[in-house]
A and B are shown apart, each in its own frame.
Chain A
Amino acid sequence: MTTTIPKDDVAVAPAVPAERAVRVRLGPRHLIIAGFVVAAFVVPLLSSSFVTFQLTEVLIYGLAILGLNLLTGFNGQFSLGHSAFYGIGAYTAAILIHNYEVSYLWTLPAAGALCFVIGFLFGLPALRLQNLYLALATFALATAMPQILKFHALEGWTGGVQGLVVDQPEAPGFVPISDDQWLYYFTLIVMLVMFLCAEFLIHSRTGRAIMAIRDNPIAAAAMGINNSLYKTLTFGVSALYTGVAGALGALAIGFVAPDSFTIFLSISLLVGLVIGGVGSIPGCLFGGLFVLYVPNIANALSTGLAGAIYGVILLLVIFVMPAGAAGFVRIVVARISRWRQTSPEES
């Protein structure tokens, strides 16, 4: 499955003024994305239901990592607290389905909206915190979340330490596919729409403002950008993305429990973010692949040394791709296009 896609118009050749009018021009980036989308639709038809389930999880992690990337990669705000937003999203879906028998379709907007509000509110005090202090504050959020979910006053809702069983979506009668495949396609479509929106957002006036704050907050203010407003809203949108991923996760697994949403999940998302590429939208999916499969691979090689093997693989990947998968692909594409430009003309 091809999940690595170069970022932006880096691969676009030097022809400059012609670029102005061009809005849609097929470059390697578009081809790779088209290839990925086709593969993403075909693969579950050919694979076992277990692999389909795993791929569903890859998409979900990819979406959660994208949420973190919007905040950290594009806006420069650090977070170790995204497991909390993921957990809130998952529990929102679980509670709505388990306690109120709401259709699973409605759980996603509910989880997204709730996480947006909580993320926005958390973003307000975060405005005063820089880098490491923000990391600590979000760390506190991540540590608090499992205990809040276990808290006995909320047990009626959350099911306490037992967690909640979630009725999983079933494939509607008119489509001849299994429930696993249905869940996969449902997740895929949600993911594609949300990735597209993120892509639109980043390549817009708002996206440029978000990145300007990351690169130089004082200059951004001089350009008329309201740092506080954009930072808090970005926090909200970031939490929304990760919250929707959490809701999808609850649907996919069919069960939520407090200890699924510990700080370790936050760190996994952070690993996925760095491996995929900080500030790359398609790279998030590669991060999702890594987060899901590499621990499994490590486990398969040696159960006793799984942690050590995971560490070694992580180090190797960072060594080979210091700018993440996205940076790696960007370099490769640039090399190929340079080679294509020079060699035919000179020979």
Chain B
Amino acid sequence: MAAATDPLLDVRDIALRFGGIVALDGVSFTIDEGQILGLIGPNGAGKTTLFNCVSRLYTPNRGDILFEGRSTLRRPAHRIAEIGIARTFQNLALFGPQSVLDNVRIGAHAKSRSDFISDGLRLPWVLRQEARTNEITWSLLKLLDLESVAHRSADGLPLGTRKRVELARALAAQPKLLLLDEPAGGLNHGDVGELGTLIRRIRDERHVTVLLVEHHMNLVMSVADKVVVLDFGRKIAEGTPAEVQRNEDVIRAYLGTTREHAA
């Protein structure tokens, strides 16, 4: 277990190019256990690219990403969940035809074991494990108010509901670090407020550290303990929400010009 002083996630000098385009150029930051870190920046700043590096969909050309002090870069994408990193997807990536219940159960894959033979014969130990999976799943459905749609297929549900299913699915892996990719995208004003409360609740009750990539400034500013701002693949600011909001570079990046009279 990492000591209290060690960060949970340590992103060190990450750089990634796609062809000639520099998507990330030496980005570093850390997240401490129990923190909610907001990662913001204008379109094309490299937020999602960075996010995909942490979840191992992309491999950076340079730098390292340490989780609990160990490098994650040698792990394939499917072995990230088992060390305690779970994610949601910006454009939703549910298992559409399957029920909400099964979607969330699949989230628990990394925290369980089985094989074709034991499952095909439905051996007793598999059933015991399945009972535990169901318990976790139903508690999450309750937390996210999804009990009434548990048996509906994910495809037919409204966007806000599907976003909650994604969240439940990510939490079913019982992660230490939760990566949220633009969870507020497409939600209306009221839903965004609830989402903020929910993210804080998840952190407080389930002791999950959160990396939040978000466009929605109000959400980030109200929820995050610390904010990192990217622009053109570089980190241009880091600090508390209040500090970042006063930062000249950030104002310039967002508004495109220098504005001395900015509020």
A222 B114 Cβ-Cβ under 8 A? no
Q: B236 → chain A, closest Cβ, in Å?
A: 29
The answer to whether residues A224 and B119 also contact, given A9-B151, A205-B133, A208-B105 and a CB cut-off of 8 A, is: no
Q: Would you call B227 an interface residue if the criterion is a C-beta within 8 Å of the partner chain's C-beta atoms?
A: no
Residue of A nearest to B153 (CB): A10
Specify which of A201, A211, A227 is in contact with B78 (CB 8 Å cutoff). A227
Q: How far is the CA of A56 from the CA of B6 in the complex (A)?
A: 67
Interface residue A221 (Cβ < 8 Å from any Cβ of B): yes
Besides A224-B109, A233-B116, 7 more A-B contacts (Cβ < 8 Å) are: A201-B119, A218-B57, A222-B81, A222-B93, A224-B78, A224-B110, A224-B173
Q: Name the A residues within 8 Å of B81 (CB-CB).
A: 222-224
Q: Mark B134-167, 1 if CB is under 8 A from A, else 0.
A: 1000100000000110110000000000000000
| Chain A neighbourhood of B148, CB < 8 A | 14, 16
Among B78, B97, B112, B169: residue with most chain A CB under 10 A: B78
The yes or no answer to A19 lying at the interface (CB within 8 A) is: yes
Q: Are A12 and B151 in contact (CB under 8 A)?
A: yes
Q: B79 at interface (Cβ–Cβ under 8 A)?
A: yes
Closest residue on chain B to residue A218 by CB atoms: B93
B87 contacts which chain A residues (CB < 8 A)? 222
Is B4 an interface residue, CB under 8 A from the partner?
Answer: no
| Chain A residues within 8 Å of chain B by Cβ, number | 34
Contact between chains at B119 and A204 (CB < 8 Å) = yes
Q: Which 3 A-B pairs have the closest CB atoms?
A: A224-B110, A224-B81, A204-B119
- Report the stretch among B120-128, B191-199, B245-253 that lies at the interface: B120-128
Most buried by B among A216, A221, A223: A223
Q: Would B114 and A223 count as touching, CB distance under 8 A?
A: no
Distance of A211 Cα from B95 Cα, bound (Å) = 8
Q: Is the pair A223, B119 in contact by a Cβ cutoff of 8 Å?
A: no
From B80, B109, B134, contact of A208 by CB (8 A): B109
Q: Which of B67-115 contact A (CB under 8 A)?
A: 76-82, 86-87, 89, 93-98, 102, 105-107, 109-110, 112, 114-115
Q: Is B130 an interface residue when CB atoms closer than 8 A count as contact?
A: yes
A200 at the interface (CB under 8 A from B): yes
A216 to B102, CA, bound (A): 14
B116 touches A225 (CB 8 A): no
A-B contacts, 21 of them at CB < 8 A, read A16-B148, A19-B151, A198-B120, A205-B105, A205-B126, A205-B133, A208-B105, A208-B109, A211-B97, A211-B98, A212-B109, A215-B97, A216-B93, A218-B93, A221-B77, A222-B57, A222-B93, A223-B106, A223-B109, A224-B173, A279-B97
Q: Which residues of A contact B77 (CB under 8 A)?
A: 218, 221-222
Docked Cα-Cα span, A14 to B102, in Å, equals 16
Q: Which residues of B contact A19 (CB under 8 A)?
A: 150-151
Q: Which residue of B lies closest to A194 (CB)?
A: B120
A206 & B114 in contact (Cβ 8 Å cutoff):
yes
| Given A197-B120, A224-B82, A226-B78, A205 contacting B109 (CB threshold 8 A) | yes
Residues of chain A from 123 to 180 with CB closer than 8 A to chain B in the complex: none
Within 8 A of B (CB), among A10-61: 12, 14, 16-17, 19-20
A274 to B126, CA, bound (A): 32
Q: Is the interface of A mostly helix, strand, loop or mixed?
A: helix
Judge if B48 is at the interface, Cβ distance under 8 Å. no
Assembled-state Cα–Cα distance A194/B66 (Å): 46
Contact of B95 among A16, A212, A233 (CB under 8 A): A212
Are A204 and B114 neighbours in the complex by a CB distance under 8 Å?
yes
Complex CA gap A19/B109 in Å reads 21
B59 lies within 8 A of chain A by Cβ: no
B35 interface residue per 8 A CB criterion: no
Q: Does A65 contact B (CB under 8 A)?
A: no
Residue B209 at the chain A interface, CB threshold 8 Å: no
| Contact residues in A for B76 (Cβ distance below 8 Å) | 221
CB pair B134 A212 closer than 8 Å:
no
Q: How far is the CB of A322 from chain B (nearest CB, A)?
A: 15
Would you call A204 and B78 a contact (CB within 8 A)?
no
Do A17 and B147 touch across chains, with their CB atoms under 8 A apart?
Answer: yes
State whether A223 touches B115 (Cβ < 8 A): no
In the assembled complex, the Cα of A105 lies from the Cα of B96 at a distance in Å of 42
Contact status B120-A201, CB under 8 Å? yes
User: A206: which of B55, B94, B96, B119 is its contact (CB, 8 Å)?
Assistant: B119
Query: Are A219 and B78 also in contact (CB < 8 A) when A201-B119, A205-B114, A205-B130 are?
Result: no
